[in-house]
Amino acid sequence: MLAGSTKLLDSLIATTGSSITPVSPFPGHKIESVPESSVDDVKVAVAQARAASANWAATDIEDRIKIFDRYYDLLFKNQDLLQDVIQIETGKARSHAAAEIYGVAMIAAHYTKIAKKALSPQKRVGIFPVLTKTEVLAQPKGVVGIISPWNYPLTLSIYDAIPAMLAGNTVVIRPDFQTAWSAIHAVDLLIQAGLPKGVATIVIGDGPTVGAALIDEVDYICFTGSTATGKKVGAQAGARLIGASLELGGKNPMVVRADANLNTFLESAIQGCFTSAGQLCISIERMFIHESIYDEFLAALVNRVNEIKLGADLSWNYEVGSLGSEAVASRVEKAVATAISEGAVALTGGKRRPDIGPYVFEPTVLTGVTKDMKIYREEVFGPVVYVLPFKDDEEAIALANDSEYGLSASVISKDLTKAQEVAARIRSGSVNVNDGFAAAFGSVAAPMGGMGESGLGRRHGIEGLMRFTEPQTIAVHPTFITGPRFGMNEQKWNSLISRAFRILKKLGLR
């Protein structure tokens, strides 16, 4: 049972008097009702955030950093509680819930380390080198809205908010109602770490009303969810000319080269395909194995998948947990049934396991998938992967790139040079060599995001911080010097300027 105390709800603005009661995917567990916000509550939340903006932006960066340093420690002090909340809301395995905490901690550590330098004024060459003192300030956008889905409820509700706040913005978070308590706990820990009132608030409600109302009010929107919804969010943000980062879907490929190590392949495949029961944007759903090792590697994969320990409780005993809801379970079931009706073959899995939990779906390996099948291109967002053979690197790259998406990819090979060459030719925001997804995703100093239909903008790295700022150029002259001076007429002045242009280029100053 997840309980909400008055203190926990301090950050939530919800005055409708109505509430939503999510259903836990775990048998025998209940989730406390979540108070629901109205469109007016969204306006109040953003007004409060705006009121808190000036003080927060003026707070010394060192003091802002200290709050997130304390937050890092609080995450680990509260690890058991957070794991329980995440698991009860999402149904995922405990180790996958733990990974969410590590993800947020890595982001807090990374940005507290780089924020001061990255956000400090940057000197640039001015119109008249030496004479013109030009610098760029990183001004906060103002109020940042975060709309996050249910699949990684702790990570995705808070870890974009951390760089946004470090950059001097206030944030209003609209988590998915199914996983609202994860977000409420995440913000409660921030308040415990010393975050001033109003800097982070939460609103709860459905996407098309409460989510859309948030986009109408904020100065920047950070959205994580499906490509279909992302396009609506982008259009709404575009109509208001506010910036948006859109972290969307994927149909991520794994290329297994002829020289791949079998164990590296198996562990990368299990992690890549079945973490969080495949409800992960960077999950592998397409696997291409070199024809010379295809039979051997496929048989080993099926054996390993058959050994996966499936479970739906709070223990550490299981490798893969449940899907998040009836809606997800029936969508995954339908995607697999359609593929099979179109001629695909399930070598293992392919069915629900109500004996374990109401939404548990077996890890599934499909073969015989062809280009005309729905599953060839469409994201399943569940524990389902299809496997196809390829002849050479050229064909593997063509198969990997045969997708509208471009979020994450994986190349398994002993030849690291060749693997890197293949990686660079895959149209994907991240590529992992000899890993499913964690190598790139966990490299939080490097940008992460999608090409093509997988999104716009990048989280992680300096890019993930600077998107929350407006670069402001301040150029200072001791006195007016950009027009005729020293009694010269236009002709003399321009002849001096054109000579100066040539000299400056020769000196490497322009």
Contact criterion met (CB below 8 Å) for 139 and 467: no
Among the candidate windows 11-19, 130-138, 245-253, 410-418, which touches ligand NAD by CB under 6 A?
A: 245-253
Output phi, psi for 321, to 5 deg: -105, -145
User: Of 145, 225, 447, 464, which one interacts with ligand NAD (CB under 6 A)?
Assistant: 225
Task: Map tokens 């479970």 to a residue.
Answer: 311
Say how far apart CA 346 and CA 340 lie, in whole Å.
7
Q: Which of the stretches 41-49, 62-70, 241-249, 486-494 binds ligand NAD when contact is defined by CB under 6 A?
A: 241-249
| 229 is an interface residue for ligand NAD by CB under 6 A | yes
Residue among 465, 462, 448, 460 nearest 167 (CA): 465
Is the Cβ–Cβ distance between 242 and 287 less than 8 Å?
no
Contact between 432 and 440 (Cβ < 8 Å): yes
**CA separation, residue 252 to residues 40, 266, 384, 442, 455 (Å):** 40, 17, 12, 17, 14
Indicate whether 233 belongs to the interface with ligand NAD (CB under 6 A).
Answer: yes
- By three-state DSSP, how is residue 135 classified? strand
Q: Which residue of the set 36, 217, 247, 379 is catalytic? A: 247
Among 22, 249, 278, 464, interactor with ligand NAD by CB under 6 A: 249
For every residue of 229-281, DSSP letters joined together read HHHHHHHHHHHHT-EEEEE----EEEEE-TT--HHHHHHHHHHHHHGGGG-ST
475 Cβ contact list (under 8 Å, min separation 6): 126, 127, 132, 133, 134
Q: Active site includes 281? A: yes
The three-class DSSP label of residue 169 is coil
Name the segment binding ligand NAD (CB under 6 A); options: 108-116, 222-230, 468-476, 482-490: 222-230
Q: What residue number has its CB nearest to ligand NAD?
A: 207
Chain centroid to CA 491: 57
Query: What is the nearest approach in angstroms of ligand NAD to the Cβ of residue 471?
Result: 25
311 forms part of the interface with ligand NAD (CB under 6 A): no
Site string for ligand NAD, 133-152 (x = CB under 6 A): --------------x-xxxx
Tell me, by CB under 6 A, how many residues bind ligand NAD. 28
Question: Catalytic one among 281, 285, 362, 379?
Answer: 281
The two beta strands, 455-456 and 122-125, are: unpaired
Among 49, 248, 400, 409, binds ligand NAD (CB under 6 A): 248
Q: Can residue 269 be called a binding residue for ligand NAD (CB under 6 A)? A: no
176 touches ligand NAD by CB under 6 A: yes
**Per CB under 6 A, does 212 bind ligand NAD?**
yes
Q: Is 222 assigned a catalytic role?
A: no
By CB under 6 A, what part of segment 363-382 binds ligand NAD?
A: 379, 381
For the bound state, the minimum distance from the C-beta of residue 53 to ligand NAD, rounded and expressed in Å, comes to 23
Which residues sit at the interface with ligand NAD, rule CB under 6 A?
Answer: 147, 149-152, 156, 176, 206-208, 211-212, 224-226, 229, 232-233, 247-250, 281, 379, 381, 407, 450, 455
User: Catalytic positions, please?
Assistant: 247, 281
